[in-house]
A = this chain, B = another copy of it.
């Protein structure tokens, strides 16, 4: 009475791949790690890694247990014409970071990236790949401009969740959205003045 169509051993194989991926990212950085190398370290065919996870970016997300793929979320938000994009990005981001279950793996990654050079190398490559090749395309903005939105979001991460500055830590989500969305909108809209605002 299997609940899914997965064959026995599938979960174990996936975990083997993710364990190998974590090692490869830690040892070689994001840019140095390859699907081929991860597959070799896990003792599986590269096609299987691709079948389970997709591109390297998605392998990294699964390996680090990140709760979502930022590029997928930004795509969904930009496709929604009924809500203000800046507010939606901010509200989604705060929801993910306010919930301890989704926050913990992200916080672990940020902490390790700020204190260990090897971890920084992996996060640096992952974020650059994500911004330059994915987020900027979803937003229709140049890479640096897309990164400036990421900068605004990770500033909140630093003050609210990492350092925990009281006035930011205790602020109501909607209070932050009301104050900060115009700032995010300023970066989005200056890059494309023709974009509708809501």
A-side interface residues toward B, CB under 8 Å?
110-111, 113-115, 120, 123-124, 127-128, 131-132, 143-145, 147-148, 150-160, 162-168, 171, 175-176, 179-180, 182-187, 190-191
Asked if residues A124 and B180 are in contact (CB atoms below 8 Å), the reply is no
Instruction: Name A113's contact: one of B132, B163, B183, B187 (CB within 8 Å).
Output: B163
Residues A127 and B179 in contact in the complex (CB < 8 Å), given A152-B151, A158-B158, A185-B186:
no
What residues of B have a CB within 8 angstroms of the CB of A160 in the complex?
Answer: 151
Q: How many copies are assembled? A: 2
Report whether B163 and A159 are in contact in the complex, using a CB–CB cutoff of 8 Å: no
Q: Chain B residues with Cβ under 8 A from A143's Cβ?
A: 167
Known A124-B165, A128-B167; contact A158-B151, beta-carbon cutoff 8 A: yes
Give the one of A145, A156, A165, A171 with max B CB within 10 A: A165
Q: Are B166 and A124 in contact (CB under 8 A)?
A: yes
Q: Are B175 and A144 in contact (CB under 8 A)?
A: yes
